[in-house]
Structure formats: structure tokens, C-alpha cells
Amino acid sequence: MNASQPALKRNWILAALMLTMFLAAMDIAVVSTVIPKIVEDIGGFKKFSWVFSIYLLTQTATIPLYGKLADLYGRKRVLLIGIGIFLLGSALSALSWDINSLIIFRGIQGIGAGSIMAIANTIAGDIYSVKERAKIEGWLSSIWGISAILGPVLGGGLAKYLNWRWIFLINIPVGIVAGLLLLLFLKEKVVKQKRYIDYKGAILIFALLTALITFLLNGGQAWSWVSIPSLILLIAVIVLTILSIRVERRAKAPIMPGWVFTNRTFLGSNLAVVGLGIIMMGPETYLPTFMQASLGFGVILSGLVLAAMSLGWPTASALSGKLYLNIGFRNTELIGTALIVVASVGFLFIPWPQSVFLLVLDQILLGAGFGLLSTPALVGIQAVVDWDRRGVVTGSNQFCRYLGQSLGAAIFGAVFNFSYAQQLKQSDLNISGDSGNVLKTLQQSTISDKAELFIKEALNTANHHIYVGMVLVGVLTIFAVLLVPKKLQKKPL
């Protein structure tokens, strides 16, 4: 499988990849829209956050394993299995009878989604040249933008006019079409060789990542950071990390080879993507709530402002090819990171109450920075390895991005909650300190004008602290990018 394949065949393969990405991207956007309707039907309000957490957890934890399997058995076979698991999880989710069953079935969906995240970009790296890949990554990135806009509309429509269960059933025909296109047009020659599967490493790494992501997603939310569950998970992460390193060092074909962490090209690019993932979660997690509570925007308008990031991202991603071919991968990544820092600083200088126009512009600029960082970071590491290692490096890159998002959710959640709680403590107003009920508090008819103004200003201050955090992470990301050599070339690993 190489970049010399006929253009028509490659176009059909690209269509299949976009459909598979669409499955994973739309699922997140649609489910978040209709979760109130789901809880109303099957109950379990106190556990509904696990509907999202379990999906992200199983998806992220399986990405490295899928990357390795794709190198051993070929992309096509592993991706088709992943799509099959995702569709099974979708069908089962549609049949859920209570919140516990839905959480389990969403976990199955996430296991399938891990394959999509790990392998779709790997196939793109196989069949398109380094020059073409920027444009293709732009197309793949655009799926997230389309999903961010279409997801809430589709989810709301299905829940209102049919039934929330259709948000899962609609995945099945899309997944079948994607699978058929891959079967018909994706031809690859997998060299027959004696395959060694690092079973011990796979189990340990999955357990490690599960413990780590559970710790990050639930600390400060489901339980306090200083609590018995957090302590148990932290100890588990430390012990599993030590065991995984020992096993992977001795393994003949490790799931996560040591050179992924020691080679400057991979280390710098992957750390930069971790920074990208962290920064993404600032506006993605708190900007909609801030706009609705502090600025009085509606759900649709705040969603569109958030989706503006998806205008800059695929555009910059598609244009990045001209840059990295002329000035190099590292310099392009530095420009992207600089734009991210500028956009993060920009949020701090938009006066309250913020205008929609300025927020949209800043979101577009932030998305452009993400596009100029993410695409050369991925294409660069793909370019310096052969086919039999491309799955591992692509999987490590995608894993680092989602790990960054988990870290970002934990970090910015702690920053926001601490800032808001401290402001409430220092005020002489009798207001609930539960930041999760801000919208509900503002809707109370008994709230005074003074208290309402205070809450809106407190939210603005708490969001400013998040933006400061984004700036700091952006600066650290610049140092990560500087680890990448100026000129990338294939070296024995």
C-alpha cells in the first residue's frame, strides 16, 4: 500500500476513513446533546458522567495496542474489527435498559473507537505522500468541525421526533458503508513473518492507562483529589508504570517500544500534542457554560462559538503542507504553538461582557494554531519510519493527544472550581458554592441583582484563570517542540 495507487481508489479509501472518523466524532457530539433525555427515560442522573468517561477511557487506553496490532497484522483487518466492535457497542447501547447497562455498552463502543483513532491516520500516512498528507489531514480534521455543528442538531432531532435510541442505531448503516468501502478499495500486502505479541505488556499498559485516565477524569469530580479512591489509583499508576517499563524492556516486540520515548523526534512531537490536548479542554469544557451563565447566550449560539475553532483547524491543517515542505516540520509546529499562545492571551484581553465576534475570531485563531501544530507533528513522525512502525508512532501520537485532553479536563476543572469557590468564600453573599449548578442558581427567581452580577463576574474571573493556564501550557509546549530536530530523517531505531 503506497502513495502511487490510482487517485480514484485513494479517494474511495479517504471517503471510508472520513466515515469512520465521522462515527467516532459524531458519537461524542450527539450523546452529549441528548443525555438529559436518556437520563429522563432510564434514570441514573448521578452516574451519567460515566457515559462519557467510560467511552473516553476505553478509547484512549486501547489506542497504543491497536497501533501495534496494525503493524503486525495490517491496517485493514484491525480497523474492520474495530468498526465491528464499535457497531456492536452502538447496537447494545440502543438496547440499554438502565444507566449501568448503557455505561457498559458505551465502554464497548470506546474499545472500537480506539481502533478508528489509531488506524485512520495511519492509513492516510500509508497511501498519501508527505506533500499530500497536509491536505488529507485537513479533510480528516474537518470531520470534527462538521460533527460539532451537525451533532447537536441531529441528536436533538432524533430524540424529539423519534427516540434517543436512534442516535446509536444511526451508526450502523454508516459503519457498514465505511467497512464495505475498505473491503473493496483498500489493498495491502502484509509481509508474512513470525509475529510476537507482547501479551504481558498489553495487559499491563491497558491496566496502567485505565487507572491513570480514571484518576484524571474522576479526581475532583466523582471524589476529592485527596481521598482514598484517588490514593489507591495513584499507587496503582506508580506500580503499573514500574511493571510496564520492566516488561517492555525485555519484550521481543513491545507494545510501546522505548524509542518512542527516547528519540527526540517522537518525544518532542508527542509532548507537544499532549500540550495541544490540554489546551483544547480549556474552551471546550468551560466556554459554553461561561457564555450561557455569564453572557446570557443561548445553547445554540454558545455551541456555534465553540465550533468556530473547527473552522481554523482544518484550514490551517490543509495549508501546513506548504509550510513544512519549505521551512521544516519543527518551524511549522513553532508557528502553530505561537498562534495558540497568542489566542490564549487574546482571551484575557477581551473585555467582559465579551462580544460574540471577538470570541469567534479568537476561537478561529486558536483552531489555526492547533492545525499548524497537530498536522506537522503527526506527518513528521510518520515520515521518519517505515510501514512496519507507522502504526506504533501514529498510535502514540493519537494517544498523547487524548491523554492531554484527560489532563486538561483535570487541570482546568481544578483551576475553575478552586477560583470560583475562593471568590464565593470571600464574598458576603449567601450563594451555593457548587459550581456545577451555576446556571440553575442564576435561574432562581429569588436571586438578587447583586448576587447575579457577582456570580457572572466570578465566572469571568475563573475563566481568566483557565486562560492563564492555557498560556503557561502553551509556553511549555514551545519547549517541547524545540526538542524536535530541525531536519527530520530516517534513522535506525
* Section 439-464 average pLDDT: 74
Among 82-86, 102-106, 183-187, 413-417, name the one with the lowest average pLDDT: 413-417
Residue 446: predicted pLDDT: 64
Residue 44: predicted pLDDT: 74
Residue 440: predicted pLDDT: 60
Superfamily for domain range 1-195: MFS general substrate transporter like domains (1.20.1250.20)
What is the C-alpha separation between 175 and 90, in angstroms, rounded? Answer: 10
CATH topology of domain 260-493: Growth Hormone; Chain: A; (1.20.1250)
* Section 455-483 average pLDDT: 91
Give the predicted TM-score (pTM) of the model.
0.85
Contact call for residues 210 and 88 (beta carbons, < 8 A): no
* Section 105-123 average pLDDT: 92
pLDDT at 435 over 50: no
- The dihedral over CA atoms of 396, 373, 57, 382, expressed in degrees to the nearest 10, equals -20
Residue 178 banded pLDDT, cuts 50, 70, 90: very high
SS3 assignment, position 1 = coil
The predicted-structure confidence for 243-281, as pLDDT tens digits, reads as follows: 999 988 888 878 888 888 888 989 999 999 999 999 998
What is the C-alpha separation between 9 and 3, in angstroms, rounded? Answer: 11
- Selected residue with higher pLDDT from 3 and 479: 479
Residue 139: predicted pLDDT: 85
Residue 158 banded pLDDT, cuts 50, 70, 90: confident
Taking all residues of the chain, what is their mean pLDDT, rounded to a whole number?
Answer: 84
Helix axes 130-161, 299-307, angle to 10 degrees: 170
Q: What does the domain layout of the chain look like in residue ranges?
A: 1-195, 198-252, 260-493
pLDDT at 177 over 70: yes
Helix (H) or strand (E) holding 221: none
Residues with Cβ within 8 Å of 72's Cβ and at least 6 positions away in sequence, in order, are 195, 197, 253
Whether 1-195 and 260-493 share one fold: the answer is: yes
Residue 433 banded pLDDT, cuts 50, 70, 90: very low
* Section 415-440 average pLDDT: 68
Residue 197 banded pLDDT, cuts 50, 70, 90: confident
* Section 211-217 average pLDDT: 85
Residue 194: predicted pLDDT: 67
What is the C-alpha separation between 165 and 401, in angstroms, rounded? Answer: 30
* Section 300-312 average pLDDT: 79
* Section 67-88 average pLDDT: 92
| Percent of the chain at pLDDT exceeding 70 | 90
Residue 434 banded pLDDT, cuts 50, 70, 90: very low
Residue 437 banded pLDDT, cuts 50, 70, 90: low
* Section 123-133 average pLDDT: 87
Tell the residue number behind the cell numbers 427516540, with chain if given. Answer: 163
Here the cell at position 411 is 487541570
- Selected residue with higher pLDDT from 287 and 3: 287
* Section 212-240 average pLDDT: 86
Residue 219 pairs in a beta bridge with 223
SS3 assignment, position 223 = strand
Residue 192: predicted pLDDT: 66
* Section 45-63 average pLDDT: 81
Residue 306: predicted pLDDT: 77
Residues with Cβ within 8 Å of 453's Cβ and at least 6 positions away in sequence, in order, are none
- Selected residue with higher pLDDT from 306 and 211: 211
